Amino acid sequence: MIRDDLLALTHDSLAALTNRGLVKRAAKDLDAGTVPELDVAADGAVHAVFPDGTETALPAEGGLEAAVCSCSAATKCRHRVGVVLAYQQRHRENEDTAEPEAIPTPAEVTDEELREAFGSHALAAAEKARRAGYTARLTWPGPDRPAVAELPSCTVSFLVPGRLGYVHSDAAGPARDAAIVQAVWAFRAAENTATTLISVGGGAGGETLAEATALADRVLLGGVESADGVLTAALAREADALTKRRMHWPADTVRDLIDQVRRYHDRSASYDPQRFAALLAELPARARAARTPSGTPNSQILGGDEAAQTPLKLVRLIGLGCRIGTDGERRTAELFLADPETGMVLTVARDWEIPAERTLTGHEVAERRLAGCRIGALAAGQVVSEAAARTAARSLRLGAGRLAKTQVLPLGRSWSELPPSLHITDLDAARERLDAMPPSMIRPRVAAELVRVIAVDRIATAGYDPAAQTFEAVLTAPDGGSARLRAAHRAAAPGALGAIEAALRQGTRAIAGTLRRHRGELVVEPTALLTGEGMIVPDLAPGDDSAALDAVHAAERDPLAEAVEDALDVCADLAHRGLRQAREPSRRRVETTAATLHAVGFRSAASTFVQLSKALSADDDAARTAAWTEAAIRTLVTAELH
């Protein structure tokens, strides 16, 4: 019996199932003459004896995971790989030269085969995801490539066509089994179309947010002051209920709303009225988008295709810098790590209480430790972890300790290894991709959604604007397009602006940071800069605000931006006070805002404020909330696009 599964395994496939070092070692041993004696049973099981007496067996079913070896390695070893390579070498001379048959696809795998391989629990978990809906980007199998399904939570590769024993995924444990089932179902749903992007399951979901939007309306009508313990508890219960229904994005929105209410009642300086208002607008916006057919699947609007937490196997992540901030009396650090395999940017967040009568700057935070490693090293190196977990919002928990080892390696040239979706060489094309994205209030709530690495061809005008306390520069990319680098002064990172200017003078090759649109141009807020001398993480750089920066002229006044900002302030003030508390001065300010928006050309936005003024004069709570929601959504989208 010929083992077609063993013959189909390439060196890359074996490396994915084990690791690259074991494959190289096994191939080297084979070339040196360390060839095992093979005995193939009638059912295809392979038994091998190596010259040193090590015995290895590959059962007929189950793949490499089912293999057993007498050496000390528990699951992966060079002997298991060596048996596969030796079997391939034996049959290489007898390769079939007939016309190749059609390559089986994962769509041909039956549910019974899935149940036998992974159990009923995996199918039940996958079915829960299918009811909520999920999307998958598919690569169909070919002579030189395996079938691959890129799910929101992980990537699944079918290394040997038609064999479930040779499936690789960056997820681990039960999450891996459920993901394989989801991947098979995605190929099955797309079988007759051969499409590369498929939405599986789900359905109209707007009505399922009725309770959440009703609670948000109660907060909006009464204002933040009215959100007492009873209302906050109701919001918390609804957030938990949404999570159980795999509606992670609305659930996160409700929890962020609760957090803003808590900050206000704690009299924290971190309470943000504009953020509070944006959250109140986001819930009805997602409900409306879920009810209305559009090009965005409900699974992305509601987060139904996300697992609350996905355990990961051995992962290699590439540092993209760090952001130091302040949250009330606490210093915060957010590290950005790119996964080159999935094209995701993940975040790791920590915070510390600021000691009394002293500061805790980013440079001091760089020496603190996370998962046994210095934060400065994590932000500027390659992170390899044997035990990590990823949340739906792409935040990462790194394992620590002897059994969950995390280590940091030098960065090297790893930025250049990032996929094109993360490594930008054409800023004009990046602008087109940003323009094609739906508004942020209905996009997945991913922490580092717009963090990118931008290759730098040339740096133009650069300098410090004392009035705005920002450092700015204009950069161009090798394949076209330009963007404005902008970094604001923050007390938490006093050395950041000086470090950025020094990096630009050294010759910056690439910049990592958040890429967004503003006033008709692309703006990047840097988290790290790569120079010929290595990576610089501005927020972790030493400094005390004493660096003398070259000055530039202040930016010209933008009446469009000022009109939109004033409209956002009006919406935030109404939400903060509560629509029922709106008095004549508030209505007059709404009318003035409508006139200003109309004068600068935002006529659709102006009309929503005219309707809001009328609704505030009427004694109809439903009309008030509907009018405010329409005005707030329109203004938030206008601000994002402008």
Give the integer Cα–Cα distance in Å for 272 and 260: 7
Structural domains of the chain, count: 6
Q: Do 292 and 215 belong together in one domain? A: yes
Q: Do 192 and 247 belong together in one domain? A: no
pLDDT of amino acid 64: 82
Give the integer Cα–Cα distance in Å for 43 and 166: 18
Q: What is the pTM of this model?
A: 0.72
- Give the domain range for residue 141: 106-200
Q: Do 86 and 135 belong together in one domain? A: no
Length of the chain (residues)? 642
Work out whether strand 482-488 and strand 521-531 pair parallel, antiparallel, or are unpaired.
Answer: parallel
Does residue 226 lie within any of the structural domains?
A: yes
Does residue 549 lie within any of the structural domains?
A: no
508-536 tens-digit pLDDT: 999 999 999 887 789 999 999 999 889 99
Q: Cβ neighbours of residue 513 under 8 Å, at least 6 residues apart?
A: 321, 451, 452, 454, 485, 524, 525, 526, 527, 528
3-state secondary structure of 545: coil
Whose CA is closest to 571, among 605, 599, 604, 602? 605
Q: Do 215 and 298 belong together in one domain? A: yes
pLDDT of amino acid 291: 82
Mean pLDDT by 10 residues, the chain (642 residues): 81 82 88 87 89 89 84 84 88 56 84 92 89 83 85 86 85 88 92 78 66 96 94 95 88 96 90 96 93 71 77 87 90 94 90 85 93 92 86 81 72 90 94 90 90 94 83 93 93 92 92 88 94 93 79 71 94 96 92 95 95 93 96 94 78
Does residue 527 lie within any of the structural domains?
A: yes
Q: What is the CATH number of the domain that holds 462?
A: 2.40.50
pLDDT of amino acid 72: 80
Both tokens assigned to 392: 């739906």
List, in sequence order, the alpha helices (H) in 318-444: 362-365, 375-379, 427-436
Does residue 417 lie within any of the structural domains?
A: no
Does residue 415 lie within any of the structural domains?
A: no
Does residue 116 lie within any of the structural domains?
A: yes
Provide φ and ψ at 531, rounded to 5°: -115, 180
Q: Give the relative orientation of helices 120-132 and 111-118 as an angle to the nearest 10 degrees.
A: 120
Give the integer Cα–Cα distance in Å for 433 and 121: 39
